[in-house]
Amino acid sequence: MLPYPGILPYGPAPAWCFPIFEFSMYLLLVLCLAYAVKQGMRDVLYLLGGLAFGLVLEYMEVMLKSYKYGQFTIMLGNAPHNIPFCIGVGWGIIMYTARLFSDRLGLTLLACAALDTLLAVNIDLSMDTVAYRLHMWHWDWTGTHLNPLTAQWFGIPYGNFIGWQTVVFCYSTFSRLFEQKVMKHQTGVFKFTLIALLTLLCSLFVLYTTQTYLFPFLQKHLGILGVHRFIGITVILILLIWAGWHKISVSAKKIPAVAWLVPAWFHFSFFSCFFIVGFYAENQWMTLAACINLLVGIAIHIMPVSFRGKAIRKTKYILNE
């Protein structure tokens, strides 16, 4: 019997999929935490705050019956509303390493938050189509008269990606605002603990209000659907990065290895699984989208660093003149 009868034609995932995904999340968390400890309490609490935020919002979404999780080793809560601990870990390490990457580029605050968001959504675009078909988590399309493999983004609601955009942008923006504008003269563990707590609460407030009031209003009264919102928000994020790039402050700090390792692992593991398990044979457009998304992921990690390197060399040349 299929794990979710009538939802997907695929049987249970290969036995190695869940353990590898879950163990890799914990290993990456240890590596991120080891690096964060060396950097100080700001990094530690940003990472752990992102983990806590991920768990809270996932519990909220499960309670609202947005989707349901498969069974992992460490589950929090009571079935059917339990959530995997490793999912919260995934949120934390993705948002933390995205910030490590954007911080080293010397962009403006909003440009950094926008880049963090694009980096995270790019990972999710690779991850969700595969994880959904492995029954790690799933959306129930029953009663919608839509094909669960082709509805919206190959079975993934556009609202899921909008959620990613909202969560990452808010968490990245609020944390930087509190650090740079509100509490810049305070120091110590209390400061960053309070920042993490305020960031989590403000981000949850924005997520709840947009999902409960704003987005339904836009759809009902203006006909703005999920796909329109997703594309529109993506365009705005790109414009924010473009605007912030022209105000770049050149920094010679190197991007730490962990900031490359986390996105590389997500992309490599899920892209490989896409072909190993045979999902590529299902839909040629999905296969094309997976390949393009991987190339985009490589580009948005390499191009900013390349441009920054040119800016640093140009600045050094001018100073030596």
Query: At 309, is the pLDDT very low, low, confident or very high (cuts 50, 70, 90)?
Result: low
CA dist 166 and 206 (Å) reads 8
Average pLDDT of the chain is 88
Average pLDDT rounded to a whole number, residues 242-267: 83
Average pLDDT rounded to a whole number, residues 276-303: 93
Q: Which of 49-63, 82-96, 97-111 has the largest mean confidence?
A: 82-96
Which range (97-101, 121-125, 148-152, 310-314) has the least confidence?
A: 310-314
* Residue 2 pLDDT exceeds 60: no
pLDDT in tens, 6-59: 556 788 888 899 999 999 999 999 999 999 999 999 999 999 999 999 999 999
For residue 42, the Cα-to-chain-centroid distance in whole angstroms is 20
Q: Tell me what pLDDT residue 249 has.
A: 60
Query: At 1, is the pLDDT very low, low, confident or very high (cuts 50, 70, 90)?
Result: very low
Residue-wise DSSP of 219-285? HHHH---HHHHHHHHHHHHHHHHHHHHTT-----PPPPHHHHHHHHHHHHHHHHHHHHTTGGGT-HH
Average pLDDT rounded to a whole number, residues 270-288: 94
Stated pTM of the model:
0.91
Query: At 4, is the pLDDT very low, low, confident or very high (cuts 50, 70, 90)?
Result: low
Q: Tell me what pLDDT residue 311 has.
A: 54
* Residue 260 pLDDT exceeds 60: yes
- Which of 280 and 180 is assigned the larger pLDDT? 280
- In this structure, what token pair is assigned to residue 23? 């163990």
Q: CB–CB of 93/25 below 8 Å? A: yes
CA dist 26 and 307 (Å) reads 33
- In this structure, what token pair is assigned to residue 192? 């960053």
* Residue 112 pLDDT exceeds 70: yes
CA dist 219 and 202 (Å) reads 24
Domain ranges within the chain, ordered by starting residue: 36-320
Query: At 173, is the pLDDT very low, low, confident or very high (cuts 50, 70, 90)?
Result: very high
Q: Tell me what pLDDT residue 8 has.
A: 62
Query: At 128, is the pLDDT very low, low, confident or very high (cuts 50, 70, 90)?
Result: very high
Query: At 264, is the pLDDT very low, low, confident or very high (cuts 50, 70, 90)?
Result: very high
Q: Which residues on adjacent β-strands are paired with residue 83? A: 76
Percent share of the chain, pLDDT over 90: 65
Contacts of 301 (CB under 8 A, 6+ apart): 101, 119, 260, 263
- In this structure, what token pair is assigned to residue 116? 């963090």
Percent share of the chain, pLDDT over 70: 89
Own/partner pairs, 15-19, CB within 8 angstroms, 24+ separation: 17/134, 17/136, 17/273, 17/277, 18/70, 18/71, 18/72, 18/73, 18/134, 18/136, 19/73
Query: At 320, is the pLDDT very low, low, confident or very high (cuts 50, 70, 90)?
Result: very low
